[in-house]
Amino acid sequence: MFSAVPTSRQQLSSRGAAVQVNAKAGSVEYKDLMAIAEEACRRGEQVIREAADKPREITHKGAADLVTDTDQKSEKVVLGFVQEKFPDHGVLGEEGGIMGNAGSDYLWICDPIDGTTNFTHSYPPFAVSVGVLENGTPVAGAVVEFAGSQGNWHTRMYTAYKGGGCFLDGRKVSVSSEDSVQQSLLITGFDQVEHGEPWAKNMDLFKHFTDKSRGVRRSGAAAVDMAHVACGIADAYWEMRIKAWDVAAGTLLVTEAGGTITAMDGSEHSVFSRSHLASNGKLHKSMQPIMQEAIKELVDNGNDFGPWFIPDGLPFKVPGQK
Ligand code: LIP
């Protein structure tokens, strides 16, 4: 079950909790990876809390593609903590790309602020997301969601580990049991920068499902959207063209809470997929064929829907990778 990874025999989380290392195999339990992911998120949370009520230093990557000094500080603290605990693992951040041992079986993927535009405007939700892959498969993750308002921020912590379930503030949670789109609350997201054909197709889907369901929300933070499906307050979420750091932790939250995640065309999902449909499982049957048709049309018109943003030197192949 656990592949051998060279680690020190016992590592301490900052809260003093002993992180047990499987002495025989020299590998780490998924539950302990989750504890480190949670602590890494807490450290990112602290950076954000310190900045949240102060003016932002914003850099424009594009007209509507923002990054703040807090994104950079949060990533440094989060991945610095992970690298201190697991110097032999690989790490991938939204701001810094791949670092550490890219050849390791383990890759930690961090979004230091998921929902940067929301954060810039002090408009919740926004989050820190940390997911851990073992040979490409998500095995542990944590997402800390900010809610509230200036001067009164509060957070919710979602965690999961493979085979162990999904937790909200330590309490086990599961997806909803809704099987009718008509009675469902759905979520989507869309690119703020690229407004080409995939974006237009997503707007068609937004209209379609707004008409057929109780509503479609757009929060602006994919990790939180997936966490909301996982804990059953939303029934399904889809989005095209988001990156591995947006979905690495959320993917496991959903599956460990009993949900289903595929690419929108129904093909096998990976965190490097270019489209994502996460549902309580029951809704997949009615939603997925409509998504599949939309993606087919896009592909027929020459749009690539294969995996993307695969960092150089990744030691495993992702589904659909040529
Ligand atoms: C955000 C995603 C969101 C998407 C936004 C943005 P970021 O990620 O989580 O779902 O709709 O356009 O990409 O860039 O704030 O980490």
Q: Choose one of 117, 126, 245, 308 to mutate for the ligand 1 pocket test, by most ligand atoms within 8 angstroms of C-beta.
A: 117
Q: Looking at residues 196-212, what average pLDDT do you find?
A: 98
- Domain's final residue, options 128, 154, 173: 173
Q: Could you tell me if 72 and 113 lie in one domain?
A: yes
Q: Which domain holds residue 85?
A: 11-173
Nearest Cα residue to 222 out of 246, 202, 243, 240: 246
- Using the predicted structure, report yes or no on whether residue 3 has a pLDDT greater than 60: no
Residue 37: give its domain's CATH number: 3.30.540.10
Q: Give the tens place of pLDDT for each residue, 122-141.
A: 999 999 999 999 999 999 99
pTM over 0.85: yes
* Other beta carbons within 10 Å of 221: 28
Pocket lined around ligand 1, Cβ cut-off 6 Å: 111, 114-116, 189-192, 220-222, 239, 242, 246
Q: Could you tell me if 161 and 188 lie in one domain?
A: no
- Domain's final residue, options 117, 144, 173: 173
Q: Could you tell me if 132 and 87 lie in one domain?
A: yes
Which CA distances in Å does 31 have to 1, 124, 131, 313? 13, 29, 13, 27
**Centroid of ligand 1 to alpha carbon of 69 (angstroms):** 17
Q: Could you tell me if 125 and 209 lie in one domain?
A: no
Binding site: residue ranges?
A: 94, 111, 113-114, 246
**Centroid of ligand 1 to alpha carbon of 299 (angstroms):** 23
CA dist 51 and 20 (Å) reads 34
CA dist 238 and 220 (Å) reads 12
- Using the predicted structure, report yes or no on whether residue 1 has a pLDDT greater than 50: no
- pLDDT for the residue numbered 27: 64
**Do you know the residue count of the chain?**
322
- Domain's final residue, options 127, 146, 173: 173
Residue 295 backbone phi and psi in degrees, to 5: -70, -40
Q: Which two tokens stand for residue 140?
A: 């542990």
- pLDDT for the residue numbered 154: 96
Q: Choose one of 67, 109, 241, 242 to mutate for the ligand 1 pocket test, by most ligand atoms within 8 angstroms of C-beta.
A: 242
Q: Could you tell me if 37 and 120 lie in one domain?
A: yes
90 domain residue, yes or no:
yes
- Using the predicted structure, report yes or no on whether residue 11 has a pLDDT greater than 80: no
Ligand 1 atom 11, closest CA: 189
Q: Give the tens place of pLDDT for each residue, 65-95.
A: 777 899 999 999 999 999 999 999 999 998 7
Residue indicated by tokens 């539950």: 31
4 domain residue, yes or no:
no
Q: Give the tens place of pLDDT for each residue, 143-161.
A: 999 999 999 999 999 999 9
**Centroid of ligand 1 to alpha carbon of 190 (angstroms):** 8
317 domain residue, yes or no:
no
**115 Cα nearest atom in ligand 1:** 15
**How many structural domains is the chain composed of?**
2
Residue 216: give its domain's CATH number: 3.40.190.80
Residue indicated by tokens 């707004």: 210
Q: Could you tell me if 21 and 169 lie in one domain?
A: yes
> What mean pLDDT is reported for the chain?
90
164 domain residue, yes or no:
yes
- Using the predicted structure, report yes or no on whether residue 281 has a pLDDT greater than 90: yes
- pLDDT for the residue numbered 322: 82
Residue 153 backbone phi and psi in degrees, to 5: -80, 140
Q: Could you tell me if 91 and 206 lie in one domain?
A: no
What percentage of residues in the chain have a pLDDT greater than 90? 79
Q: Looking at residues 296-314, what average pLDDT do you find?
A: 93
